[in-house]
Structure 1
Amino acid sequence: MDFQPTADQRALQQGVRDLLARRFDREALRAAVDAGGTLDRGLWRALGDAGFFALRLPEAEGGVGLGLPEAVLLFEEAGRALLPGPLVDTHLAAGVVKGAADGEVVVTAPYGSLVAHLADADVVRHPHEGATPIRSVDPLTPLHRLPGPTPHPYPREGVLLTAAEQVGTAARTLALAVQHACERVQFGQPVGGFQAVKHLCAQMFVRVETARTAVYAAAVTGTSVECAAAKLLADEAAVRNARDCLQVCGGMGFAWEADVHLHLKRAWVRAGRGPSKAETEEELAAALLGGTV
């Protein structure tokens, strides 16, 4: 079975990458950091116009009529760009909440005892009373804590799309590490020529490709077990690649002006969305022991 994207799928992915390069470049990213993660409504509507939120809606309902395999490609690009906002929740609400599909309405939803971008949201699905703001490790993801965990499980599609965002972060930090390794010169040669740095970059590449393959495969099969496995691999790839990127970049990587720490912090926040690592491992173990994998 061939899990490689088709030419049309690659064109779709490239179109979103080009859109984000125009509308959310590094200057816009840093402006969003300074603004505390406040959403750019113009960009949100541009995503709606591009079909980002309505991608999986049938054409008869005003959508694009595509599926999860195409959606994970778009969310991978969003993760690569560190695009802020409740993208997954708004995408899942298209066709259910009026205005979500075209980007006119921002939708968020609790996961566990946390809800992101509450102040920016027009609609909160499964709302709880008594949410209090807390300091988020990610300056682009403002958080509120709920008095208790939401009884609504995070949907399988949400788990997979979050995993796709994590793959985007893992791929971006790999690119940053390789770029630095090629440009930074020590002892008369690029630091990428040293074996230890080569090994770090090679390990980062393997994590990206392993996680990406798992996400693409789960998008085709759509099973709960494969989505859970993809999320585990993608979380590990995003967090460990960001840490290894810091190692490759050295002191420069730890500077506030560098973007590596933003990817690491977002990866931490995303890893806490949906079932915990322990819960996911238990689900996979039960499936393996029960012979359903």
Structure 2
Amino acid sequence: MSREKVTVLGLGQMGSALAEAFLAAGHPTTVWNRTPAKAEAAAARGARRAGTVAEAVEASGLVVVCVLDYAAVRELLDPVAGLLAGRTLVNVTSGSPEQARETAAWAAGPGARYLDGGIMTTPPGVGSPASMFLYSGTPEAFAAHRDTLAVLGDPIDLGEDAGLASLYDTGLLGLMWSVFGGWLHATALAGADGVAARAFTPVAVRWLSTVGLFMERYAGQIDEGRYPGDDATIDVQLAAVEHLLHAGRARGVDGRLPELHRELMAKAVADGHGGDSYGRLIEAFRPAD
């Protein structure tokens, strides 16, 4: 069975991983990189090495670009914008939702279909169905190329607004760093009493699955704007965080993260919301009216 032709522009660590995944799945793959030597590895695995951006774009109906930033995307593609007519441009370069929407409008000018992408893995995870790849933009483009994009990882369609993939990407990275921070604090706390990180972490990972259930419950409350404290109220959790802070102080563990949680909970209690669920604290992060 013939496979769709793909072009990959940009062969840093991530771009190289993308090209390798397409090649491994049997897709005829054309590659281009500003530094030609970086294309040698992909060429050795069977990729066609283009001499120019124009040659690379003309080689395929699906053009994937993965470079440093959106300014670099436009620097590469502005001179060949006319060649994008009738093609699908998938931009997995990291940036802001505003940049994604601006680029989608720019791509529509010459008649290209546009998808913005968020890669929710590191290069070694490319090609695994367990890895999420977020896409937003032209619905027809996602439908037409879904099977090809699936060789990179599980393709998640976030809808027509081209900025959503970047918005989810940045939000999810914030979630990741918050989880890492909480895990590192907890691991330091347990480690102060001689518990190895390898012993503590499996229990922590199992606990995260329960935390996920709470998140799903609170999501409905957030959308409805109602926060019934029918599981664990904020005032009960405020008392619990004091135990965490006490344990940390006794062990010399930096308590800035739990102190932030205490501050947010104490403010909600002071405002009369102590009987609400933890989901109420989203109001602390929302813009003031």
**TM-score grouping bracket, smaller chain normalisation:** under 0.3
Q: Name the one with the larger strand percent.
A: 2
TM superposition score normalised by structure 2: 0.27
Larger relative contact order, structure 1 or 2 (CA cutoff 8 Å, min sep 6): 1
* Alignment TM-score, normalising by the size of structure 1: 0.27
